[in-house]
Amino acid sequence: MTVKELVSQLTLEEKASLCSGKDFWKLKSVERLGLRNIMVTDGPHGLRKQATDSDHLGISESVPATCFPAACATASSFNRALLEEIGEALGEECLQEKVAVILGPGVNIKRSPLCGRNFEYFSEDPFVAGELAAALIRGVQQKGVGTSLKHYAANNQEKARLSCNSVIDERALREIYLSAFEIAVKKGKPWTVMCSYNLINGIYACEHKKLLIDILRTAWGFQGLVMTDWGAIDDRVEALKAGLDLEMPGSGGDNDARIVRAVKNGDLDETVLDVAVTHVVSLILKSQDCERPDYHYDAAAHHALARKAAADSAVLLKNDAILPIKRGQSLAVIGAFAKTPRYQGSGSSRINPPQIDNSLDALTSAGIPFDYAEGYSLAPGSGPDEALIAQACAVAAGKDAVLIFAGLPDDYESEGFDRTALDMPESHNRLIEAVSRVNPNVVVILQVGAPVLTPWSKDVKAILLLYLGGQAVGSAVADLISGAVAPSGKLAETWPLALSDTPCYHYFPGKKTAEYRESIFVGYRYYDSVQKPVAYPFGYGLSYTTFEYSALKVSAPSIKAGGSVQISFKVKNSGAVAGAEIVQVYVKPKDSAILRVAQELKAFEKIFLNPGQEETVNLLLDDRSFAYYHAPNAVWALESGTYHLCVGASSRDIRLQADVNVCGDGFENLLADQRTNAPDYFNLPDGALRISDSSFTALYGQALPPSERIPGEPFTINSTIDEVKDTDVGKQFLAAATARIGHMFSNGEAGSDVAKIFEQMLIDAPLRNMVIMGGGAISFTLIYEIVDLLNGKISSSPLLDAFLNS
């Protein structure tokens, strides 16, 4: 039977049931019609299929699976082919484990380097994020396994992510926060898209018709299924009307029953339900058709790919003629990360790899002798250990080179909470400073998920950034420092000199509301517009060789709507070793009359060249490469004028430039009053960015929502634990809930990274989310009675009394 015929054979109750999960990871089935339940699991840089108990925070053990480098690392490769290859490997592992959809990739923009989940995301730039995500999606789905593009949309902080309202002007939303999704949808065609928890301009993502239907389906042509993030459902019936197909996980039948009642009483047109069910049935059938019951992947080949990916993604931030290490040099290796690498992040993406390469073993296997010192403790919260530092200095003294492995421990960055500073642990900084005083030949090898401050950078000779390099990161380090592989990664995010330099410094994180007052000035778009000094610019990275650019040509002197121009130029490896260069093309309006950033990346390519080899690079820029989003008319518009086409090795290393004239549409004339109404954006300060209420309101186009709960406002199921915790009812419920479900998240030890995630998430969770967090211990009926108690509608609750006394 066709999908349409199958849907017509379903009862109303069966239709409703298919719109929510059977359990934490499986969809429901209708066996009489041959619709079996299929499984989805966490990703995105490895398969996290849980073998026993189900959870969404990386607590329960998962089956062994390859841990590839996280997106923070692979983004620095700028290598579409590599991401597609990793995607194919992920698809193969899903086939073996009978997983229909892997939950990823994530393309949320790195608005602030403090976001605790940045390691799962690609870039501060939507073009890079969208292109690399599309490549990963294509790779996975070539194997007959679906992906889930996430988290749609504007989910750019972990603080209060379950309840926060992202307040964004329409232009910034379309140009910055939706563009990566648009590229990934159009070029990758994911089977599913996952909506985020948060509200966007006052509407929950799961109920946002403009996002889910008008933009995603109508404008972008998405034809797949839309699911919730786990527990990201507010009003199930309204979500269906807005285009939300699948609720994950299930709600114990509560929301299924609401759907049935809504259809029967006329609140929900059954044809609306049929649309959602059609998407669910289509996904089930597609997955069933692609099953390969006896498939087994090549674990050794996947490990080798993880090693290649880690090396290809590494960024050489500094090198004063010390790398690669020469054979015969005396070497010290210092830092606990050399033995116990930080290779992945914490939370729902935590993979259980079958093997982990550490750098001590890898260097030994490569025949590179060294002396080792631990340098610091990996115990959570541990400070500088003077004895370990002294031992490290003794080992380092007199050596030809010293490798210091440092970075951020697990408890510094994770899903569930944001960082509060850019500093590395004092134990790591003190170690580097102390060793540098006894030996200037220091190479710092960084293992982090996001930018950090490097106050010792002038005192060391080299800095090699691995980000979170996956299970084979140790072998990749050996490949890189020995010269077997030349570093070729470049930064997909700016590394600032200070936290106060970041454009959203005064506005991150939000709590009840997150005001995106910096608008389109995100990452390098801001730093380059105000010419602010940075530690390491966007697109930056060194190599063991050098490259020369020449002979820039543009196919046409002008472009108009619907047109394109091709640019070509030559790149030559002018050094003595083979290497790869990432060429970047930025579009820069010369004399814009409207609000524009200084320049935007619109094309990139990674090319490998042998010594002396020269290659011609051809890249295409379409009209969208020059466009801005004109919010009043809801169109992508072209501003007339001259644009510089800047070809470079980073956003601040432009090697070639040519001009092209754009024949515009005149929409910019309708924005003439913006300079008067929102003057702050046209006069950005040299210091920390501050935008007045009046300027932001003018850009936002409506009154700003309250940033805190209004006293006396009625409580709802969307009120947070933080908002009710000081009431008598709230105190009782919080104490009982923590006692009942807190042990599920402690992982057997207080202070663990998982316990920290739970503690941070709980305080900002809406009351309704306690149902999913409670794992069956808390019902919606109990939550509604608690809300009635909080609002004084009832004086007692037998359900709450039973819960408190159980």
Half-sphere exposure for 111 (CA within 13 Å, toward CB): 31
Q: Determine the angle formed by the axes of helices 473-482 and 299-313, rounding to 10 degrees.
A: 50
Q: Determine the angle formed by the axes of helices 179-188 and 126-142, rounding to 10 degrees.
A: 30
Count the Cβ atoms, other than its own, within 10 Å of residue 770.
Answer: 25
Q: Where are the beta strands (DSSP E) in 323-476?
A: 331-334, 371-373, 401-407, 442-447, 462-465
Edge-to-edge order in the sheet of strand 547-554: 547-554, 564-573, 614-622
Q: How far apart are the C-alpha atoms of 339 and 336, rounded to whole Å?
A: 5
The answer to whether the CB of 786 falls within 8 A of the CB of 800 is yes
Q: Using alpha carbons, select from 631, 702, 635 the residue that is nearest to residue 202.
A: 702
Q: Using alpha carbons, select from 727, 721, 717, 732 the residue that is nearest to residue 797.
A: 732
229 is catalytic: yes
Q: How far apart are the C-alpha atoms of 171 and 358, rounded to whole Å?
A: 46
Count the Cβ atoms, other than its own, within 10 Å of residue 560.
Answer: 14
Q: Exposed/middle/buried for 546, CB within 10 Å: 0-12, 13-18, 19+?
A: middle
Q: Which residues contact 336 (CB under 8 A, 6 or more apart)?
A: 374, 375, 376, 377, 378, 405
The helix, strand and coil proportions of the chain, stated in percent and rounded to the nearest 5, come to: 35, 20, 45
Q: Using alpha carbons, select from 631, 603, 353 the residue that is nearest to residue 519.
A: 631
Q: How far apart are the C-alpha atoms of 600 and 586, rounded to whole Å?
A: 5
Give SS3 for 536: strand
Q: Using alpha carbons, select from 363, 737, 688 the residue that is nearest to residue 518.
A: 688
Pairing relationship of beta strands 315-319 and 462-465 according to DSSP bridges: antiparallel
| Candidates 229, 235, 245, 357; catalytic one | 229
Q: Using alpha carbons, select from 528, 525, 666, 646 the residue that is nearest to residue 587.
A: 646
User: What value, to the nearest 5°, has the Cα angle with vertex 105 and ends 104 and 111?
Assistant: 125
Q: How far apart are the C-alpha atoms of 37 and 542, rounded to whole Å?
A: 49
Edge-to-edge order in the sheet of strand 203-204: 203-204, 199-200, 165-167, 513-515
The answer to whether the CB of 756 falls within 8 A of the CB of 411 is yes
Could you give phi then psi for residue 545, rounded to 5 degrees?
A: -130, 180
* Residues involved in catalysis: 229
